Structure 1
């Protein structure tokens, strides 16, 4: 028989059985976090004529606005070691055969102590929910994957696929997540959620209901130039001297990813004035908006980026940024000339 041990942060299961499960029967748990335009997570009973697959409770989430493929974090596997396989399954409700909306299971790597950090994709299954009602989707993840680093944890996600034509919001139902993993790991499920509840903090958790004193605040305001500039090539290729620090900075949105809430900001046309914002957890700003944003500086394969941004403020809109003229030679290998224009809006003329 499975045992549920309730802690203030998560419902955590660390016993010897290989398979553990959670089906929202506590009536309080929702999700551990999210990515993209995920809205309105709630622990509910029968809703809109849809009954839970297992027991009397289930999770509902929505996508709004419709943009990209948002993800609900429904389990977190920590204390991993090399050479381990983790199989995760959940049931999703889908009554639209061979079309959106649908769901599948996905994963990403994080640090072992911060579910909101991002260490790369852990991939996921290729099959979507079948569209015949409740359907189970599963995938086996492995720490043998090339981009897993020692000490990283696995974030298990329900990934949502909505139709571009709506409805907005598109509502989803999820139930009975099961994780099969070695007994040495810790499997964390949603429960009474504690975390940083201050929206001005770098590690603000919008799903936390109790403040646990863990809030980390920005070290101050800084220009994009000061984040980006270094004359030291370093171990790889000109990493920021502020890596893993939290700062507030400003810039104008010059480009957006059409599928994910990632975007670029720039605070001028001089060198070192652009930076990439990855994985913003809410609705991203619009092109031409000048914003002030607080986030953590992160190096991803020598790409300097801002991550874990909780919020931003709009200073003005309708702004334009002139592209900087460069040559293809400026972008060859690890060169200071390429680092100077990283994440900036540039133009290359007379390309053959």
Structure 2
């Protein structure tokens, strides 16, 4: 009956963890506590609340006094709203062939954003000025979508990390061509942890114009943000956020989570732990005497390895993980803020047992 209360039924094992995605992890307890603290009473809707105001201060401390932050519900929205605000209707985005906006957003940049993606193959997920030049041409040609933005992912879909100098080289090239530089920072905290640098060192100080700031992969229940570093680079972002159905009426609950994550060091503690667990996993795979092949550099919280098909099938009886290249047997193993050393060791032990069987 309405109004009745009773015990909450948990439908899953709270100790169950996998290596498929850092999105599998729950919300960090400190984030949940911040949500509870933000509840109760009335706060002005649509972002005119004290938590969203505080978020502006927190992000300015990370990115510089000129940064303006627009909370949204998810990472796809952060990317689409960012790119729309950076481009005219005839604009195009140069990105890696493996970029999340190309491979995992189901046409949202094209169908919702109304823009074109110009992709470049890259062996490690990272763009270089030479690779960008393959698509950054045709300016003034009415028959070609006009390249207006270079979009990079930090850390990349292949687990690699751009250095500040690499970002600066891309920013200088883009700005020299009249283009802008966007960072898809769904895992930006993992990049900062890997580089041991503050966020602004490889964004604001390196010439980035707009950042899609991650939260969900690092312990938020929901929520990401568009952080504008150069206000002259965007146009109409508040209106685009509303048109794209990303203007939260009770925005305090998005902002309170982001404040909890980024006001102190929770974002960095969590990312460092995830990276450390990936390093532990990588070391364990390397110790298997060549019986498996680790295929890519392990720089953040992802590990890529080729496993025998029969071994993968048996491992999946207990552990979830993603196929990356099914034809070759390459799989991706992701670590999260709540991955434990025991999780890693148990996975490695089971893998070793299956390889010996």
TM-score over 0.5 for the alignment?
no
TM-score under structure 2 length normalisation: 0.27
User: Higher RCO, 1 or 2 (CA under 8 Å, sep at least 6)?
Assistant: 2
Name the one with the larger helix percent. Answer: 2
Name the one with the larger strand percent. Answer: 1
TM-score under structure 1 length normalisation: 0.28
